[in-house]
Amino acid sequence: MTRILLVRHGESTWNADGRWQGQADPPLTDRGRDQAVEAAARVGTIDAVVTSDLERAAVTGQIIARLLGVDHLATEAGLRERDAGPLSGLTRTEIHERWPGLLPDDPAGFVPDADGSPRWPDGWEPDADLWARLEVALVAIARAVPDGDVLAVTHGGVMYALERHLGAAGRPRLSNLDAVSVEVGSDGRMSVGERVSLVDAAHTLAIEADRI
Residues with a known catalytic role? 9, 81
Provide the CA 120 distance to its chain's centre, in angstroms: 20
In three state form, how does the secondary structure of 9-41 look? Answer: CCCEHHHHHCECCCCCCCCECHHHHHHHHHHHH
Distances (CA, A) of 200 to 6, 46, 67: 18, 21, 18
Crossing angle of the two packed helices 127-144 and 156-165, in degrees rounded to 10:
90
Measured distance between the N- and C-terminal CA atoms of the chain, rounded to whole angstroms: 30
In angstroms, rounded to a whole number, what is the distance separating the alpha carbons of residues 82 and 124?
8
In angstroms, rounded to a whole number, what is the distance separating the alpha carbons of residues 107 and 179?
16
Q: How is 144-176 classified by DSSP, letter by letter?
A: HSTT-EEEEEE-HHHHHHHHHHTT-TTPPPP-T
